[in-house]
Amino acid sequence: MGSFPQVHYPRRSVRDAQYKLILNINHAKENPHYALYLKGAGHFSTGTKEEEINASSDTIKQAYNTWRFPPEYELYDLNNDPDEWNNLAGNPEYKETLERLKNELYKWRKETKDMILDPKKLQMLNKEMESAFKNMKTRDYRKDKSFKFEYLQYLAPVE
């Protein structure tokens, strides 16, 4: 989380023997990993260039677009689509599976006391990460001995 706010993009997932559900918590925003990947920046020493993506098949283009602008939910049939190319979340045939796994994911998040299940805490974290990214693009804050991320306080477990 805090040491590299440029890639703050929380997600959660759950799976069973056949299906995998991904919740993209900040789905209304572009996934910041995508831009870093195209630039070969951060932990991506090499990446696919935009020209290569544009010259790819429609399936590949769609996969990159889903990665760049993830929907709120992604549902994959791991038996028939182990590489997760075909998002079934919007397919009415999988509505029961989607709802079942959404319920399981919510239950798991409650049981594990997911710190960002609380919308207020999520909003605070998003705001803090956005501020850190805008104001500290060079990550100079690491040299400031007095700097501390605030999320360590408001995300601390409450017993």
Tell me: the pLDDT tens digits for 18-56? 999 999 999 999 998 888 888 776 666 677 888 999 999
106 backbone dihedrals φ, ψ, rounded to 5° = -60, -45
Quote the pLDDT of residue 72. Answer: 98
**Domain locations along the chain:** 5-31+69-115
Name the pTM for this structure.
0.86
Does the pLDDT of residue 132 top 90, yes or no?
Answer: no
* Alpha carbon distances (Å) from 17 to 27, 45, 96: 26, 34, 16
| Fold annotation for 5-31+69-115 | Arylsulfatase, C-terminal domain (3.30.1120)
* pLDDT tens, residue by residue, 4-26: 677 889 999 999 999 999 999 99
Cβ pair 31, 69 in contact under 8 A: yes
Task: Dump strand ranges (E) for the chain.
Answer: 11-15, 19-24, 73-77
